[in-house]
Structure 1
Amino acid sequence: MTREVLDSATRVFKVLKTGTRSGPDGTESYTYTDGLTIDAIVGLFSPSERAQENGGHTLDNLGLIPVTSDYTFKMTIKKGSTTQYVMPTVTVSGLDASWSSTFSGTQTGKANGWLGMPGTGLNDQSTEYLKKDDFYDDSGCYSFEIEITNQFYVGDTASTYTLATVGNLIGMKMTQLKMVK
């Protein structure tokens, strides 16, 4: 039996908003992408699990073997090698996850399935999401890297793993997503 988290994944969902603008026939409404809702999952799962085009993932909660242990993880969003945004560190004790969101303070959740990541705004369902202006620099290849640090006992050396979901954000449309270890 292992108490070491070895796998992680990310899935993203666009947050759409409706605005108005002047058009040739007067005021018209339009839909735009305001940001991304980002979920992470950590634990053990099959190497055949993979990211899907448009931000989804093949893994469901039934495919995850949760690891009841103490560890931390953080997500970094990069465009190429440039860091665009670093999310607050999530601390897991057993299966209880906690973090301090810069947007809504101390938050908690369970690390036995997909866990909503901290953001910089709230969508219509009162879920935190990362606003586009806080990380998006232009169309290009973005990676969502999760760094996991397993903590065992005092005096032990912690093990750290970094895994990334890489995809192209073209006009905030996710394409060509894949997992990179």
Structure 2
Amino acid sequence: MESKNTAVFGIYKNSTYAESAVDHLIASGFSNNDISVLLPDAQSSKDFAHEKSTKAPEGTTTGVATGGVLGGTLGLLAGIGALAIPGIGPFIAAGPIMGALAGLGVGGAVGGLIGALVGMGIPEYEAKRYEGRVKDGGVLLSVHCDTSAEISKAKDVLKQSGAEDISSTGEAAAQAQSA
């Protein structure tokens, strides 16, 4: 089957639930390189700009040590970093979503996180819902899939592990909608 470059998204109430989901995804055969998380960085919200040596209002990204920030399975995900999203605050991201958010220049994007999520293929109404949930302490988790079987499996794992607002999006979906 040809590659669809599809991401399955879901929201978890907190990082404990998200970490359990990551454990289940890895046990189901997904690579930790295909799993992304985005969560508020509550620990450093007050002194983020000073301690991370970033220009928080400009949305600059910086590397962050996993010790004390993300533990357990979440700490093993690829590309962990800190983001400052204007108007929203500091976040921690890991996995492919980190590269996508950094590559889209979150700081310069009108709409901050919503603009970045829409740029990744998420419909605007879902991006707004995800932003609101993450701002309120939720954890956005996504799994990057290549086949329809992987998409189904990822949705099942997210549903069984307590995810809410589960959806999928990608190049194949965008092409189908425009046809």
Range of TM-score over shorter length: under 0.3
**Normalised TM-score (structure 1):** 0.25
Bigger share in strand: 1
- Structure showing greater relative contact order (alpha-carbon pairs closer than 8 Å, 6 or more residues apart): 2
TM-score using structure 2 length: 0.25
> Which structure is higher in helix share?
2
In our comparison, the structure showing a higher alpha carbon Rg is: 1
